[in-house]
Chains A and B, each alone.
Chain A
Amino acid sequence: MNDLQVDEQGRMRHLLSLDGLAARHVQEILDTAEALLEVAARPVKSLPLLRGRTIANLFFEASTRTRSTFELAARRLSADVLNLDVGSSSAVKGESLLDTLRNLEAMHADMFVVRHVDSGAAHFFARHAAPGVSILNAGDGRHAHPTQALLDVFTIRRHKPDFGNLCVVVVGDLLHSRVARSQLRALSLLGTGEIRVVAPPTLIPEQIEAQGVRVFTDLDRACVDADVLIALRLQRERMRGPFLPSEREYFLRYGLTRERLAKARADCLVMHPGPMNRGIEIESAVADGPHSVILEQVANGIAVRMAVMAICLGNAGREGQA
């Protein structure tokens, strides 16, 4: 169902998931983001590219920060932005989703940025979207969060462009994390030399090895010679379940600490998708230390989201014309 994302000429017109996209799509996004990064440093911090277009942020799951970065990305491209925080409830499904879409299309929105607690919500919108309308997945259930993964690989590429020789470690709740799913896909599309995943055995999805990753349960061992360490956010609501004993024990076994960072390569990058739980998945001294590129990730996230919007709307607009 992912070929929904590209048109007959293979051009991207929605971004729903990195599954179904080719390496060249990812490269195109990263190259465009590289050209857009400099906009933030100009006297005039915006481009006229999407002047007269409307981008609707449709957040069925609250996330002020992610929504703000999409909003800023849209505004830097001169688009008009409509923010809709739709209450999340399991009753919001099927027909009512379709009604939401039709209503917003009637307002002539050109792109919908969708975040939803249910996996597949963005696909649902894309399947029903009118010609010329683009859908961007800003996180759906446990499924995918493609722009987060793209900004992560963009950040890595700006420091260490030779993915074939990189050893990247992803540590945290791999079972519930849509960020991790998208990250592993992005890293493998770019030909990352070695991808290691680390998690408590209860939080490792079955058959994850099939994605070409090496599974570790011991973070100390996984950190040896790492070029990049990515800590995932521990969703604390899951702590109450049967998955983990306590936050303290999680930190002792799976937290990014100075001692563990010392086992990695001297120029190792430390990354986190935010918001951080300091003292649980990452020690403050590491989060704020010289290896951390966590704040760069935030700035890069705006350029990457601008790139995806510019590419998808450019291709979708072509279709609306035909």
Chain B
Amino acid sequence: MFTRLVAEAQQLPTIGDRPPCLIGLHTGGVWVAEYLHRALEVGEPLGRMDPAFYRDDYGRIGLKLGMRENQLPWSIEDRRVILVDDVLHTGRTIRAALGALFDYGRPACVQLAVLIEREGRELPIRADAAGARVHLPAQQRVKLRGPEPLQLIHEAGA
């Protein structure tokens, strides 16, 4: 799965000679991004982002516990940004992450790399690179557990 993700990420369109700004989304996305960051030999530090302050369900469920600080150790202005997450499902986390991202500047382009892309999108968002594209029953949940060892957890939904 990781091999395929790396292979697809290497094929992503580039802009100029500068390496991409890799941003992992807390928490699972950060683990995937750390792997990708090593595999792609990106010559710049990894970014980390928690999009919880931008989520559309704050009005329904409040603020989630265990917020993490955003760490973007470079300016994203005019750069190619790759957002990295573990699972792409409804697309709402990515929407929140895009909202957060644009408060840091105007990137040249944003690409999305995920370990698993599954059906169930509620927004016009797709992955540009994926380790696996899978069909799962709508109620089944899948998430990454880690960091050592990284493990995919399947949970049957209620």
Contacts and interface: CB of A to CB of B under 8 A. Distances in A.
Interface string A154-179: 00000000000000000000000000
Contact of B69 (A35, A46, A321): A35
B70 A28 contact: no
B105 to A, nearest CB: 6
A38 B62 contact: no
Contacts, number: 55
B63 A310 contact: yes
A315 B60 CA distance: 9
B69 A44 contact: no
Nearest to B66: A31
A48 B54 contact: yes
Contact of A318 (B53, B60, B103, B105): B60
Contacts of B62: 11, 311, 314-315, 317-318
Interface residues of B, number: 19
B81 to A, nearest CB: 15
A42 B62 CA distance: 24
A314 B63 contact: yes
Given A31-B67, A48-B54, A43 B60 contact: no
B124 interface: no
A47 interface: yes
Given A42-B104, A43-B103, A43-B104, A49 B58 contact: yes
Contacts of B70: 35, 38
A310 B53 contact: yes
Q: What band does the interface of chain A fall in when counting residues whose beta carbon is under 8 Å from B?
A: 20 to 34
Interface string A18-34: 00000000001001101
Interface in A136-157: none
A30 to B, nearest CB: 11
A28 to B, nearest CB: 6
Contacts of A35: 50, 53, 67-70
B53 A321 contact: no
A98 interface: no
Given A48-B54, A48-B99, A310-B53, A317 B69 contact: no
B60 A321 contact: yes
Contacts of B50: 35
Interface centre among A28, A44, A47, A314 (most CB of B within 10 A): A314
A208 interface: no
B61 interface: yes
A32 B62 CA distance: 13
A311 B104 contact: no
Interface in B49-81: 50, 53-54, 58-63, 65-70
Interface in A37-63: 37-38, 42-44, 46-49
A267 B26 CA distance: 34
B27 to A, nearest CB: 13
B63 A311 contact: yes
B32 to A, nearest CB: 21
Contacts of A47: 53-54, 103
Interface in A208-228: none
18 contacts: A31-B66, A31-B67, A35-B50, A37-B69, A42-B103, A43-B104, A43-B105, A49-B53, A49-B54, A49-B58, A314-B58, A314-B62, A314-B63, A315-B62, A317-B62, A318-B61, A318-B62, A321-B59
Closest 7 CB pairs of A and B: A314-B62, A35-B67, A44-B103, A314-B63, A35-B69, A47-B53, A315-B62
Interface of A: 11, 28, 31-32, 34-38, 42-44, 46-49, 310-311, 314-315, 317-318, 321
